[in-house]
Amino acid sequence: MNRTEARPVTPPTADRPVTAVDEHAHAWSPATARDRFRAGLTGPTAGVAAGHTQVNLISVPADWAYDMLLFCQRNPKPCPVLDVTDAGSWTTVLADGADLRTDLPRYRVWRDGELVEEPTDVRAHWRGDLVSFLIGCSFTFESALAGAGVPIRHVEQGRNVPMYVTTRQCRPAGRLHGPMVVSMRPVPPQHVAAALRETGLLPAVHGGPVHCGDPSALGITDLDRPDFGDPVDLETDDIPMFWACGVTPQAAVTASRPPFAITHAPGQMFLTDARDEQYRIVA
Protein backbone atom coordinates (compact mmCIF):
# COMPACT_ATOMS: atom_id res chain seq x y z
CA MET A 1 0.00 0.00 0.00
CA ASN A 2 1.44 3.36 -0.91
CA ARG A 3 0.89 6.65 0.86
CA THR A 4 -1.62 7.94 -1.71
CA GLU A 5 -3.85 4.90 -1.24
CA ALA A 6 -3.76 5.34 2.53
CA ARG A 7 -5.02 8.94 2.54
CA PRO A 8 -8.58 8.99 3.97
CA VAL A 9 -11.67 10.55 2.49
CA THR A 10 -12.63 14.02 3.68
CA PRO A 11 -14.52 13.81 7.01
CA PRO A 12 -18.21 14.69 6.86
CA THR A 13 -17.71 17.56 9.32
CA ALA A 14 -14.82 19.69 10.50
CA ASP A 15 -14.69 18.33 14.03
CA ARG A 16 -12.98 20.65 16.50
CA PRO A 17 -10.95 19.28 19.42
CA VAL A 18 -13.27 18.66 22.33
CA THR A 19 -11.06 20.71 24.65
CA ALA A 20 -11.49 23.67 22.28
CA VAL A 21 -15.27 23.28 22.37
CA ASP A 22 -15.43 23.01 26.18
CA GLU A 23 -12.53 24.33 28.24
CA HIS A 24 -13.62 22.13 31.17
CA ALA A 25 -13.34 18.87 29.18
CA HIS A 26 -10.00 18.01 30.78
CA ALA A 27 -11.77 17.77 34.15
CA TRP A 28 -14.68 15.61 32.99
CA SER A 29 -15.07 12.11 34.32
CA PRO A 30 -14.86 9.39 31.65
CA ALA A 31 -18.58 8.72 32.15
CA THR A 32 -19.39 12.38 31.52
CA ALA A 33 -17.28 12.34 28.36
CA ARG A 34 -19.05 9.23 27.10
CA ASP A 35 -22.44 10.78 27.86
CA ARG A 36 -21.48 13.87 25.84
CA PHE A 37 -20.31 11.76 22.91
CA ARG A 38 -23.46 9.63 23.02
CA ALA A 39 -25.46 12.86 22.83
CA GLY A 40 -23.63 13.90 19.66
CA LEU A 41 -20.49 15.81 20.67
CA THR A 42 -17.65 15.07 18.26
CA GLY A 43 -13.98 15.99 17.97
CA PRO A 44 -10.45 14.85 18.85
CA THR A 45 -10.18 13.80 22.49
CA ALA A 46 -6.60 14.74 23.44
CA GLY A 47 -6.71 16.16 26.95
CA VAL A 48 -10.28 15.04 27.69
CA ALA A 49 -10.83 13.44 31.13
CA ALA A 50 -7.17 13.95 31.90
CA GLY A 51 -5.55 11.07 33.76
CA HIS A 52 -7.86 8.44 32.29
CA THR A 53 -6.82 5.93 29.65
CA GLN A 54 -8.00 6.44 26.08
CA VAL A 55 -8.13 3.60 23.56
CA ASN A 56 -8.41 2.94 19.84
CA LEU A 57 -11.24 0.72 18.57
CA ILE A 58 -11.42 -1.80 15.77
CA SER A 59 -14.27 -4.29 15.38
CA VAL A 60 -14.00 -7.10 12.83
CA PRO A 61 -16.09 -10.16 11.97
CA ALA A 62 -15.34 -13.19 14.13
CA ASP A 63 -13.74 -15.06 11.24
CA TRP A 64 -11.12 -12.28 11.04
CA ALA A 65 -10.65 -11.96 14.81
CA TYR A 66 -7.81 -14.47 15.11
CA ASP A 67 -5.91 -12.73 12.32
CA MET A 68 -6.40 -9.39 14.11
CA LEU A 69 -5.32 -10.81 17.46
CA LEU A 70 -2.22 -12.32 15.86
CA PHE A 71 -1.50 -9.06 14.02
CA CYS A 72 -1.61 -7.20 17.34
CA GLN A 73 0.55 -9.79 19.08
CA ARG A 74 3.17 -9.57 16.34
CA ASN A 75 3.09 -5.76 16.28
CA PRO A 76 2.83 -4.69 19.94
CA LYS A 77 4.23 -1.18 19.49
CA PRO A 78 1.40 0.10 17.27
CA CYS A 79 -1.21 -2.39 18.52
CA PRO A 80 -1.01 -2.93 22.31
CA VAL A 81 -4.26 -4.72 23.18
CA LEU A 82 -5.99 -3.72 26.44
CA ASP A 83 -9.23 -5.69 25.95
CA VAL A 84 -10.96 -7.98 23.46
CA THR A 85 -14.73 -8.48 23.57
CA ASP A 86 -16.84 -11.55 22.96
CA ALA A 87 -18.44 -11.75 19.53
CA GLY A 88 -21.39 -9.39 19.28
CA SER A 89 -20.70 -7.69 22.62
CA TRP A 90 -20.64 -3.89 22.77
CA THR A 91 -19.40 -3.74 26.39
CA THR A 92 -15.91 -3.74 27.87
CA VAL A 93 -14.44 -4.32 31.33
CA LEU A 94 -12.55 -1.04 30.83
CA ALA A 95 -15.69 1.11 31.22
CA ASP A 96 -18.66 0.07 33.33
CA GLY A 97 -21.98 0.60 31.55
CA ALA A 98 -20.42 1.95 28.35
CA ASP A 99 -21.67 1.13 24.87
CA LEU A 100 -18.99 0.74 22.19
CA ARG A 101 -21.61 1.45 19.51
CA THR A 102 -22.49 4.95 20.72
CA ASP A 103 -19.91 6.27 23.17
CA LEU A 104 -17.12 7.40 20.83
CA PRO A 105 -17.23 10.86 19.22
CA ARG A 106 -17.02 9.51 15.68
CA TYR A 107 -16.62 6.14 13.98
CA ARG A 108 -15.50 4.82 10.61
CA VAL A 109 -17.33 2.08 8.72
CA TRP A 110 -15.31 0.02 6.22
CA ARG A 111 -16.48 -2.35 3.50
CA ASP A 112 -13.96 -4.38 1.49
CA GLY A 113 -11.19 -2.06 2.67
CA GLU A 114 -12.98 1.11 1.59
CA LEU A 115 -14.09 3.83 4.01
CA VAL A 116 -17.81 4.27 3.35
CA GLU A 117 -19.16 6.30 6.27
CA GLU A 118 -18.09 8.28 9.36
CA PRO A 119 -21.13 8.25 11.66
CA THR A 120 -21.42 9.23 15.32
CA ASP A 121 -23.42 6.08 16.17
CA VAL A 122 -22.92 2.59 14.69
CA ARG A 123 -25.91 0.73 16.11
CA ALA A 124 -27.40 0.50 12.63
CA HIS A 125 -24.19 -1.11 11.38
CA TRP A 126 -23.58 -3.44 14.31
CA ARG A 127 -23.44 -7.18 13.67
CA GLY A 128 -23.74 -10.13 15.99
CA ASP A 129 -20.39 -11.55 14.88
CA LEU A 130 -18.24 -8.47 15.57
CA VAL A 131 -15.26 -8.86 17.89
CA SER A 132 -13.89 -5.56 19.22
CA PHE A 133 -10.26 -4.83 20.04
CA LEU A 134 -9.45 -1.95 22.38
CA ILE A 135 -5.89 -0.81 21.72
CA GLY A 136 -3.77 1.54 23.80
CA CYS A 137 -3.59 5.17 22.66
CA SER A 138 -0.74 7.67 22.88
CA PHE A 139 -3.12 10.34 24.23
CA THR A 140 -2.79 8.42 27.48
CA PHE A 141 0.88 9.25 27.94
CA GLU A 142 0.35 12.96 27.25
CA SER A 143 -0.56 13.54 30.90
CA ALA A 144 2.82 12.11 31.88
CA LEU A 145 4.55 14.28 29.28
CA ALA A 146 2.78 17.41 30.51
CA GLY A 147 3.62 16.52 34.10
CA ALA A 148 7.29 16.31 33.13
CA GLY A 149 7.13 19.74 31.50
CA VAL A 150 7.09 18.53 27.90
CA PRO A 151 4.96 20.85 25.73
CA ILE A 152 2.13 19.19 23.77
CA ARG A 153 2.03 21.29 20.61
CA HIS A 154 -1.20 19.96 19.11
CA VAL A 155 -3.05 20.59 22.37
CA GLU A 156 -1.54 24.08 22.66
CA GLN A 157 -2.61 24.83 19.09
CA GLY A 158 -6.11 23.34 19.39
CA ARG A 159 -5.48 20.68 16.74
CA ASN A 160 -5.70 16.94 16.30
CA VAL A 161 -2.37 15.14 16.59
CA PRO A 162 -0.74 14.60 13.15
CA MET A 163 -0.47 10.97 12.03
CA TYR A 164 1.48 9.57 9.10
CA VAL A 165 1.55 6.30 7.17
CA THR A 166 5.17 5.17 7.05
CA THR A 167 7.19 2.92 4.79
CA ARG A 168 7.83 0.55 7.70
CA GLN A 169 5.82 -2.59 7.14
CA CYS A 170 4.22 -4.40 10.05
CA ARG A 171 4.80 -8.10 10.50
CA PRO A 172 1.96 -9.82 8.61
CA ALA A 173 -0.53 -12.10 10.36
CA GLY A 174 -2.78 -14.39 8.35
CA ARG A 175 -4.67 -12.22 5.89
CA LEU A 176 -3.67 -8.94 7.57
CA HIS A 177 -0.72 -6.83 6.49
CA GLY A 178 0.11 -3.17 6.07
CA PRO A 179 2.37 -0.29 7.09
CA MET A 180 2.92 1.20 10.52
CA VAL A 181 1.20 4.50 11.25
CA VAL A 182 2.91 6.96 13.60
CA SER A 183 1.84 10.03 15.53
CA MET A 184 4.23 12.99 15.70
CA ARG A 185 4.89 15.43 18.53
CA PRO A 186 7.48 18.20 18.20
CA VAL A 187 9.67 18.32 21.30
CA PRO A 188 12.24 20.97 22.28
CA PRO A 189 15.76 19.49 22.63
CA GLN A 190 15.89 20.05 26.38
CA HIS A 191 12.75 17.93 26.83
CA VAL A 192 13.67 14.98 24.61
CA ALA A 193 15.15 12.93 27.47
CA ALA A 194 11.98 13.43 29.54
CA ALA A 195 9.80 12.43 26.58
CA LEU A 196 11.83 9.26 26.09
CA ARG A 197 11.72 8.41 29.80
CA GLU A 198 8.04 9.10 30.43
CA THR A 199 6.66 7.32 27.37
CA GLY A 200 9.03 4.39 27.81
CA LEU A 201 7.37 3.69 31.15
CA LEU A 202 3.99 3.20 29.44
CA PRO A 203 4.44 0.29 26.99
CA ALA A 204 0.71 -0.56 27.07
CA VAL A 205 0.01 2.74 25.30
CA HIS A 206 2.77 2.46 22.65
CA GLY A 207 5.76 3.13 24.91
CA GLY A 208 8.78 5.06 23.68
CA PRO A 209 9.07 6.56 20.21
CA VAL A 210 10.01 4.50 17.17
CA HIS A 211 12.02 7.37 15.66
CA CYS A 212 13.30 10.86 16.47
CA GLY A 213 14.47 13.41 13.94
CA ASP A 214 14.52 13.18 10.14
CA PRO A 215 11.00 12.21 8.94
CA SER A 216 12.39 10.82 5.67
CA ALA A 217 13.75 7.82 7.59
CA LEU A 218 10.10 6.75 7.90
CA GLY A 219 9.23 7.68 4.33
CA ILE A 220 7.48 10.88 5.40
CA THR A 221 8.15 13.61 2.85
CA ASP A 222 6.12 16.51 4.24
CA LEU A 223 5.19 17.04 7.90
CA ASP A 224 2.62 19.61 6.79
CA ARG A 225 0.60 16.90 5.01
CA PRO A 226 -0.33 14.27 7.61
CA ASP A 227 -2.38 11.31 6.44
CA PHE A 228 -4.67 11.73 9.45
CA GLY A 229 -5.15 14.58 11.91
CA ASP A 230 -3.87 18.12 11.50
CA PRO A 231 -0.49 19.67 10.71
CA VAL A 232 1.18 21.15 13.77
CA ASP A 233 3.51 24.16 13.82
CA LEU A 234 7.01 23.39 15.07
CA GLU A 235 8.84 25.92 17.19
CA THR A 236 12.48 26.79 16.44
CA ASP A 237 14.75 23.83 17.26
CA ASP A 238 11.82 21.45 17.93
CA ILE A 239 12.70 17.84 17.16
CA PRO A 240 9.94 15.74 15.59
CA MET A 241 9.40 12.59 17.64
CA PHE A 242 7.35 9.72 16.25
CA TRP A 243 5.37 7.15 18.23
CA ALA A 244 3.71 4.01 16.88
CA CYS A 245 0.00 4.72 16.47
CA GLY A 246 -3.19 2.75 17.01
CA VAL A 247 -4.50 3.87 13.61
CA THR A 248 -2.18 1.17 12.21
CA PRO A 249 -5.04 -1.41 12.09
CA GLN A 250 -6.95 0.98 9.81
CA ALA A 251 -3.99 0.99 7.41
CA ALA A 252 -4.11 -2.82 7.58
CA VAL A 253 -7.83 -2.73 6.73
CA THR A 254 -7.06 -0.59 3.68
CA ALA A 255 -4.26 -2.92 2.60
CA SER A 256 -5.91 -6.26 3.43
CA ARG A 257 -9.53 -5.46 2.53
CA PRO A 258 -11.60 -7.46 5.04
CA PRO A 259 -15.27 -7.49 4.08
CA PHE A 260 -16.33 -5.32 7.01
CA ALA A 261 -14.88 -3.37 9.94
CA ILE A 262 -15.77 -0.57 12.32
CA THR A 263 -13.09 1.68 13.81
CA HIS A 264 -12.80 4.97 15.66
CA ALA A 265 -12.15 8.11 13.63
CA PRO A 266 -8.47 9.03 14.05
CA GLY A 267 -7.94 11.08 17.17
CA GLN A 268 -11.52 10.52 18.42
CA MET A 269 -11.00 7.90 21.05
CA PHE A 270 -12.95 5.82 23.55
CA LEU A 271 -12.62 7.10 27.14
CA THR A 272 -12.19 4.27 29.66
CA ASP A 273 -12.55 4.30 33.44
CA ALA A 274 -8.97 3.05 33.83
CA ARG A 275 -6.39 5.41 35.25
CA ASP A 276 -3.20 6.09 33.33
CA GLU A 277 -1.03 4.97 36.25
CA GLN A 278 -2.48 1.46 35.99
CA TYR A 279 -0.37 1.00 32.86
CA ARG A 280 2.78 2.68 34.12
CA ILE A 281 5.82 0.56 34.87
CA VAL A 282 7.36 1.34 38.24
CA ALA A 283 10.72 2.94 37.49
Domains of the chain as residue ranges with CATH: 24-136+256-279 (3.40.1640.10), 141-244 (3.30.2040.10)
d(CA 101, CA 259): 19
Percent of the chain with pLDDT over 70: 95
Q: Which of 104, 91, 108 is nearest to 48 (CA)?
A: 104
C-alpha to C-alpha distances, 232 to 9, 54, 144, nearest whole angstrom: 20, 21, 20
pLDDT at 282: 75
Residue 279 scores a pLDDT above 90: yes
- Per-residue pLDDT tens for 161-205? 999 999 999 999 999 999 999 999 999 999 999 999 999 999 999
Whether the CA torsion 100, 47, 181, 66 is positive or negative: it is negative
pLDDT at 10: 44
**DSSP letter for each residue of 231-246:** --PPPTT-EEEEEE-T
Task: Please give the model's pTM, rounded to 2 decimal places.
Answer: 0.92
Q: Which of 162, 115, 150 is nearest to 258 (CA)?
A: 115
Averaged pLDDT score across all residues of the chain: 94
Count of Cβ atoms closer than 10 Å to residue 5 Cβ:
11
What is the rounded (10 degree) CA torsion for 213, 219, 222, 223? -50
d(CA 269, CA 246): 10
- Per-residue pLDDT tens for 125-142? 999 999 999 999 999 999
Q: Which of 28, 64, 66 is nearest to 47 (CA)?
A: 28
**DSSP letter for each residue of 123-176:** GGG--TTEEEEEEE-GGGGHHHHHHTT---HHHHTT-PPPEEEEEEEPPPBTTB
pLDDT band for 283, please (50, 70, 90 cuts): low
Percent of the chain with pLDDT over 90: 92
